[in-house]
Amino acid sequence: MNMMTRRDFLRSSGVGVGLGLGAGLGLSGCAGTMTGDIAPKSGRRVVVIGGGWGGATAARYIRIADPSIDVVLIEPNREFVSCPFSNLVLSGQRTIESLTLSYAGLRARGVTIIHETATAIEPDTKRVRIGQGYLAYDRLVVSPGIDFQWEQVEGLAAARDTVLHAWKAGPQTVELARQIQSMRDGGVFVLTVPPVAYRCPPGPYERICQVAWYLKQNKPKSKVIVLDANQNIVSKTGLFRAAWKAYPNIDYRASQKVIGVDTSTREVRTEFDRVKYDVLNLIPPQRAGAIAVQADLVGADKRWCEVDHVTYESVKQKGVHVIGDATIGLPVPKSGNVANNMGKAAALSIVSLLNGQAVPLMPPGNTCYSWVSDREAIAVVNSYKIENGKVVQIEQKLTPSQSVSVAQRAEGWRQSIWADMLS
Partner 1 sequence: MTSSRFAAVFLTAGFFFAAAPGAARSAGPLDDPAFAKVITCAACHGAYGNSRSDMMPIIAGLDPAYFKRQIENYASGRRPSPEMEPYAKEIQFLGLDQIAAYFAAQKRVPTPIRSSAEAAARGKTIAAQCVICHGPDGKGEAARLIPGIAGQPPGYLVQQMFLLKADTRDPGDPMLAAKKALMKIIPDGQFADLAAYYSSLR
Please give the residues from 343 up to 382 whose contact with partner 1 meets the rule CB under 8 A: 344-345, 348, 351-352, 355, 357, 360-365, 367, 379, 381-382
In the list 82, 102, 256, 340, the residue contacting partner 1 (rule: CB under 8 A) is 340
In the list 10, 17, 19, 315, the residue contacting partner 1 (rule: CB under 8 A) is 19
DSSP-derived letter for residue 307 is: B
DSSP for 57-97 reads HHHHHHHHH-TTSEEEEE-S-SSEE-STTTHHHHTTSS-SG
Q: How far is the CB of 352 from partner 1 (least distance, A)?
A: 7
Q: How far is the CB of 353 from partner 1 (least distance, A)?
A: 12
Counting contacts by CB under 8 A, is residue 327 touching partner 1?
Answer: no
One symbol per residue from 111 to 130: x for binding partner 1 (CB under 8 A), - otherwise; what is it?
A: -x------------------
Q: How far is the CB of 368 from partner 1 (least distance, A)?
A: 10
One symbol per residue from 78 to 117: x for binding partner 1 (CB under 8 A), - otherwise; what is it?
A: -----------------------------xxxx-x-----
Beta carbon nearer to partner 1, 182 or 355: 355
Counting contacts by CB under 8 A, is residue 136 touching partner 1?
Answer: no
Torsion of CA 161, 163, 168, 172, to 10 degrees: 70
Counting contacts by CB under 8 A, is residue 337 touching partner 1?
Answer: yes
Q: Where are the beta strands (DSSP E) in 137-222?
A: 139-142, 146-148, 188-193
Stretch that binds partner 1, among 77-85, 206-214, 223-231, 394-402 (CB under 8 A): 394-402
DSSP for 385-408 reads EEETTEEEEEEEEE-SS-BHHHHH
Counting contacts by CB under 8 A, is residue 160 touching partner 1?
Answer: no
Are 315 and 307 within 8 A, CB to CB? yes
Counting contacts by CB under 8 A, is residue 311 touching partner 1?
Answer: no
Counting contacts by CB under 8 A, is residue 399 touching partner 1?
Answer: yes
Q: Which of 336, 407, 335, 331 is nearest to 363 (CA)?
A: 331
CA dist., res. 201 & res. 205, Å (int) = 8
Q: How far is the CB of 395 from partner 1 (least distance, A)?
A: 4
Counting contacts by CB under 8 A, is residue 169 touching partner 1?
Answer: no
Q: How far is the CB of 134 from partner 1 (least distance, A)?
A: 17
Q: How far is the CB of 12 from partner 1 (least distance, A)?
A: 6
Beta carbon nearer to partner 1, 228 or 325: 325
Beta carbon nearer to partner 1, 39 or 164: 39
CA dist., res. 83 & res. 200, Å (int) = 9
Torsion of CA 351, 356, 357, 359, to 10 degrees: 60
Counting contacts by CB under 8 A, is residue 390 touching partner 1?
Answer: no
Stretch that binds partner 1, among 4-12, 135-143, 172-180, 296-304 (CB under 8 A): 4-12
Q: Which of 388, 372, 371, 369 is nearest to 380 (CA)?
A: 369
Beta carbon nearer to partner 1, 95 or 357: 357
For the chain, what percentages of helix, strand and coil (3-state, to nearest 5) are there?
30, 25, 40
Beta carbon nearer to partner 1, 129 or 409: 409
Stretch that binds partner 1, among 159-167, 225-233, 257-265, 395-403 (CB under 8 A): 395-403
Q: How far is the CB of 390 from partner 1 (least distance, A)?
A: 14
Counting contacts by CB under 8 A, is residue 237 touching partner 1?
Answer: no
Counting contacts by CB under 8 A, is residue 395 touching partner 1?
Answer: yes
Counting contacts by CB under 8 A, is residue 334 touching partner 1?
Answer: no
Beta carbon nearer to partner 1, 315 or 392: 392
Angle (deg, nearest 10), helices 404-422 and 53-65? 60
Angle (deg, nearest 10), helices 336-354 and 53-65? 30
Q: How far is the CB of 119 from partner 1 (least distance, A)?
A: 22
Burial 30-63 (b: 16+ CB within 10 A, else e): ebeebeeebbebeebbbbbbbbbbbbbbbbbbbb
Q: Where are the beta strands (DSSP E) in 177-222?
A: 188-193
Counting contacts by CB under 8 A, is residue 23 touching partner 1?
Answer: yes
**Beta strands at 127-130 and 120-122: parallel, antiparallel or unpaired:** antiparallel
Cis omega (within 30 of 0) for bond into 197: yes
Q: How far is the CB of 402 from partner 1 (least distance, A)?
A: 12
CA dist., res. 131 & res. 118, Å (int) = 8
